[in-house]
Amino acid sequence: MQQRKLQKKYSKLKTFFLFFFLILLFLVLLITLSSLFVVEKIEIISEKKIKSFLGSELIKGKNISLLNKKELQQKLQDLNPTIKDLTIKIIYPNKIQIYYKLVEEVAYINANDGFLSISNTSKILRKSKKLANKSNLTEILYYQKFDYITNSVGSYIDYLDIKYSLNVLKKVKEYGFEVVSIDISRPSMIRLNLGDSIVIFTSEKNIKGQIDKLEKIIKQFKVEGNSFSLLDLRFDKPILKLK
């Protein structure tokens, strides 16, 4: 009887230690596996890379299996406003690849204490006291001065006349024209200076209709081999002066 009690007690003790050992083994394996899946390498793949990529601390040293790709991609794009189409590729056990493209600077605006470089969606990509490589960008001359301090990189210039101007700029450049400057003296009259010709339009009318007219005339002129010195799109029937 006494022996049976001892055997039963021994069996329970054996079961307890076995259970304890299994838990301990599970914890050791979990810690080991967790350390294997910690991000050690971040590889950035892009045709053109930005000088300083921000947000690596959100990835480095993190458990790769716990990363939320969608959320992380949005955070990285917010931190780096000059990039677009950012995607993340997870390569187990401990590597992350980041792919992105650069947002193109198309124009710059004079601010009260420097320059604001913007994309074709009016996003501010860069602020500078002295703007280098002006020759590649179109100057926007605006009737009001923008504040250099309050307009931050990554924000948008939410002015209808500027947005309209960028739409027309994009379309004109698609047809091989170089736009030297855009003069917005008032919403009713926006002038694109193409060097030896002028295109005038307005933000007080639907921009699509004006762009459609512009596209039709440019196509016709390319076929005929003609050119114009002035094209005014503000009216139902555009005003056109040939060279």
Residue 70 CB contacts under 8 Å (≥ 6 apart), including other chains: none
- Structure confidence by residue, pLDDT tens digits, 39-51: 889 999 998 888 8
What is the model's pLDDT at position 65?
82
Q: What pTM was estimated for this model as a whole? A: 0.78
What is the model's pLDDT at position 201?
93
- Structure confidence by residue, pLDDT tens digits, 154-169: 999 999 999 999 999 9
- Structure confidence by residue, pLDDT tens digits, 95-132: 999 999 999 999 999 999 899 999 999 999 999 988 77
What is the model's pLDDT at position 164?
93
What separation in angstroms does the CA of 70 have from each of 19, 33, 148?
Answer: 40, 24, 33
pLDDT at residue 21 tops 70 = no
Q: Are 119 and 103 in contact (CB under 8 A)?
A: yes
DSSP 167-192: HHHHHHHHTT----EEEEEETTEEEE
> Phi, psi at residue 21, to the nearest 5°?
-65, -40
- Mean of pLDDT values over 180-197: 90
- Structure confidence by residue, pLDDT tens digits, 198-230: 999 999 999 999 999 999 998 888 888 888 899
Give the CB-side neighbour count of residue 120, counting CA atoms within 13 A: 13
> Phi, psi at residue 125, to the nearest 5°?
-100, -25
Task: Output the CA torsion sign for 30, 32, 33, 38.
Answer: positive
Residue 135 pLDDT class (50, 70, 90 cuts): low
